[in-house]
Amino acid sequence: MVNKISYQKCFVAYLDILGFKERVINSENNREGISLLLDSLKICNIFDSRNKKATNDTGKYRTINIQSRFFSDSLVFFLEVNPDDLSHLFLIIRYLQDRLWEKELLIRGAVVYGDIYLPKGKEERNITLGPAIIKAYELESKVAIYPRVVIDKDLYDYIDAKSIKAYPFGGERDKLKNYIRKDRDGIYFLDLLNKNVIRKKDEYLRKNNNIFSIVWDSDRENQYDKILSAVDRCIENNIHSDDETIRQKYEWLKTYKKQSENGYI
């Protein structure tokens, strides 16, 4: 008798590190470049595991069941649908992009709501499949275009209908939908440079066995200005590229940063 196999509703995030392959090629005779790439991979690699639990130790303790895959220059996160967990996934994305911005690397990606097969048992630990993964990949590769994390329209509607709270990604009294912006081309994306996003000084990523935690002291100051400076360096060092497609990505980032600083809605 064949066991019943079915998909489950999940949140799926597909993230790609832009320009990583070119950095690898250009690092052949550049020790500093190799070191930067290795440091970047170490940041990503700590998230790479099966059946890992992600936690946030500040405020009310909460543990979420999240799985991740890391290969080449891409990461995939997926977790079973629970409205209370989505802001934690956004927190992970924010932390990852902040650390990569500091190394002048950009993320492009997509987060969707859809069907996925969740691995059961050790013999399936490397199996990852489902329409939601394909949808997230196609949004990242064909729709996102710029260094932004696209929010699928179905997911945005879900967030709105459920009135999902922003914490710990954003303020404790805020709604998560207020941290999602609609771009000029009609695409929804995660507003990572929103001034109210929580990013405290001296936050760090802690790992213990199968648990990783993004930890911070709620009394410390926000690091918004520090991240803006890191984004500025990314822009200044890359916006004059001879490659038009690269130049367009940094021009988009420059516009987005300026709008965020000016409180554009």
What does the alpha-carbon distance between residue 177 and residue 38 come to, in Å, rounded to a whole number? 35
Cα atoms in the Cβ-side hemisphere of radius 13 Å centred on 106: 24
What mean pLDDT is predicted for residues 87-106?
91
pTM of the model: 0.87
Tens-place pLDDT, residues 147-204: 999 999 999 999 999 999 999 999 999 999 999 999 999 999 999 999 999 999 988 8
The whole-number pLDDT of residue 129 equals 83
The bridge status of strand 211-215 relative to strand 62-71 is unpaired
Written as six digits, the tokens of 255 are 């516009």
DSSP string of 213-241? EEE--TTSPB-HHHHHHHHHHHHHTTTT-
Name the residue ranges covered by the structural domains of the chain: 8-223
Q: What is the CATH number of domain 8-223?
A: 3.30.70.1230
The predicted-structure confidence for 194-204, as pLDDT tens digits, reads as follows 999 999 998 88
